[in-house]
Amino acid sequence: MKPAVELRGITKRFPGVVANKNIELSVATGHVHAVVGENGAGKSTLMKILYGMLRPDEGEIRVNGEKVVFHSPADAIAAGIGMVHQHFMLADNLTVLENVILGSEPRRMFGIDFAAARRRINEISERYGLGVDPDALVEDIGVGERQRVEILKVLYRGARILILDEPTAVLVPQEVEELFRNLRSLVEQGLTIIFISHKLDEVLSVADAITVIRRGETVANVSPKEVTARRLAELMVGSELPSPETGESTVTDEVALEVSGLSLSKDGRPLLDGIDLRIRKGEVVGIAGVEGNGQAELVEAIMGMRPIDSGTIRLLGEDITHWPTLRRRERGIAYIPEDRHRHGLLLDAPLWENRILGHQTRRPNAKGPWIDRAGARRDTQRIVEQYDVRTPGIDVAASALSGGNQQKLIVGREMSGEPVVLIAAHPTRGVDVGAQAAIWDHLRRARAEGLAVLLISADLDELIGLSDTLKVILRGRLVAEFDPSRVTPDELGCAMTGAQEVA
């Protein structure tokens, strides 16, 4: 039988970069085919080409044996290909129904036939067990259900080949199993699934075939039965994996940051509910949890970026609960934000101005009300050298650097000025493996020198490897505490979803 999708010799160039080089991919009908590779390997670009959002510079695409050329997503949709994006493409202010039918609305006289649309959506939802409510407003439904809406969107348009881009990035182990059950039932009905991921355990458990991409090229096509996660990882990276494990304990007795009874709510709903937390000098406290359970609010509360309802925060014994953000920073709280492009950098400003960001009241950047340009420039040069930030110079705009180098700059900046506490939110998200290892090294070294670290991450390996103490946050409360050296990802996952509430 002809393969459902064949990509031959696909090449795509961007200014300064070759994203895809001679990619070969063959997906059999009725298979779940995984495409793995690390961040920046070129997987997203490849899928955008397959979905018609980008045109390849060279190469051809075949669907069910026939050559096709896609000028836009509409062409791909017509060929039976449907894409479920990693970042959901849903309009919050519109209903599920409106989001699903957009671009393929059923007509009745001059208007939309809402009744027919509703019927068809309910029918698809029941057939594949998706359980979606057409009249709900998208912003009111949870992450898992939104993903099912995205799947329903492509099924509504008659897709027979589904592309899922990092579908489990926002899901917890139990939800991942549910997703895989849905995928199995789709495949049983003859559909084909292409699955992009860098989570190798999941890939091994659900895929029928795996293609590995590295630096824009296909490096291997394997069957999951023949290969281990370790081997796959090595193929992905091309070298030994870094291990996040740390050495002996450096935890002291002195409490650097103490949070008591922290609560805040919005519109009557509690976002943080009585959080008690203690971080000692030389200790890394890791917090695991599904996105949206209060991590962001906790970070913002500690940084003073969000007002709280009740509770206290003490830094080295001093009550900083009502201090403004600037004062907290000056006193010694450093911050690596989750979204570096929004909160951590001025993308269009040169590197040396970004060095000043967050530290504009202290040496070496400032003297009183004046900015010390020479001092800031000198120090930026030091950070670039010490933290191995790859850049042509310090006058280059921050946007020109890669994600990993941007993050290294931020880490270097925040570590300067002898901080007492570091809040690190997803510090290696979207960062290439080399930079990730470097950042872990810096964190470990600072920890050994007495820095107290609050680590928030969705990468369970990172949490388990770096933390001295591991807590779980669920619905705004700290519900569990684990010893990182003994906990398993499955135990963590249960606590994170509340499947078993551990006191």
* Interface residue with other proteins, options 10, 23, 25, 54 (CB under 8 A): 54
DSSP 350: B
Burial of 314 (0-12, 13-18, 19+ CB in 10 A): middle
Q: Report CA 377 to chain centroid distance, whole Å.
A: 32
DSSP 243: -
Radius of gyration of the chain (CA): 25
Written as six digits, the tokens of 366 are: 């400032």
Q: Which CB, 153 or 447, lies closer to other proteins?
A: 153
Stretch that binds other proteins, among 83-91, 119-127, 177-185, 254-262 (CB under 8 A): 83-91
Q: Which CB, 348 or 449, lies closer to other proteins?
A: 348
* Interface residue with other proteins, options 110, 240, 248, 503 (CB under 8 A): 110
* Interface residue with other proteins, options 183, 334, 466, 474 (CB under 8 A): 474
Q: Which CB, 92 or 126, lies closer to other proteins?
A: 92
Number of residues that bind other proteins (CB under 8 A): 104
125 in contact with other proteins (CB under 8 A): no
Stretch that binds other proteins, among 135-143, 236-244, 380-388, 461-469 (CB under 8 A): 135-143
94 in contact with other proteins (CB under 8 A): yes
237 in contact with other proteins (CB under 8 A): no
Helix H or strand E segment including 226:
none
| Residues 424-443: x where in contact with other proteins by CB under 8 A, - otherwise, as a string | --------------------
Sequence-separated (6 or more) residues with CB below 8 Å from residue 436: 242, 404, 428
369 in contact with other proteins (CB under 8 A): yes
Stretch that binds other proteins, among 119-127, 239-247, 339-347, 379-387 (CB under 8 A): 339-347
198 in contact with other proteins (CB under 8 A): no
* Interface residue with other proteins, options 5, 171, 193, 345 (CB under 8 A): 345
Sequence-separated (6 or more) residues with CB below 8 Å from residue 445: none
Taking CB under 8 A as the criterion, which residues in 285-324 touch other proteins?
290-294, 303, 305, 324
Taking CB under 8 A as the criterion, which residues in 248-267 touch other proteins?
266-267
The whole-angstrom separation of Cα 379 and Cα 333 is 19
Residues pairing with 213 in the sheet: 218
Q: What is residue 99's three-state secondary structure? A: helix
374 in contact with other proteins (CB under 8 A): no
Q: Report CA 396 to chain centroid distance, whole Å.
A: 27
* Interface residue with other proteins, options 316, 360, 388, 437 (CB under 8 A): 360
334 in contact with other proteins (CB under 8 A): no
Helices (H) and strands (E) in the chain, counts: 16, 24
* Interface residue with other proteins, options 56, 134, 337, 493 (CB under 8 A): 337
215 in contact with other proteins (CB under 8 A): yes
The whole-angstrom separation of Cα 407 and Cα 60 is 37
Q: What is residue 173's three-state secondary structure? A: helix
Contact between 495 and 480 (Cβ < 8 Å):
yes
400 in contact with other proteins (CB under 8 A): yes
140 in contact with other proteins (CB under 8 A): yes
347 in contact with other proteins (CB under 8 A): yes
Tokens 């872990």, residue?
440
Contact between 304 and 325 (Cβ < 8 Å):
yes
Q: Is the four-CA dihedral 141, 147, 150, 155 of positive or negative sign?
A: negative
Q: Which CB, 15 or 317, lies closer to other proteins?
A: 15
Contact between 410 and 386 (Cβ < 8 Å):
no
The whole-angstrom separation of Cα 151 and Cα 371 is 52
91 in contact with other proteins (CB under 8 A): yes
Written as six digits, the tokens of 295 are: 């991590």
366 in contact with other proteins (CB under 8 A): yes
* Interface residue with other proteins, options 53, 241, 255, 437 (CB under 8 A): 53
Taking CB under 8 A as the criterion, which residues in 154-183 touch other proteins?
none
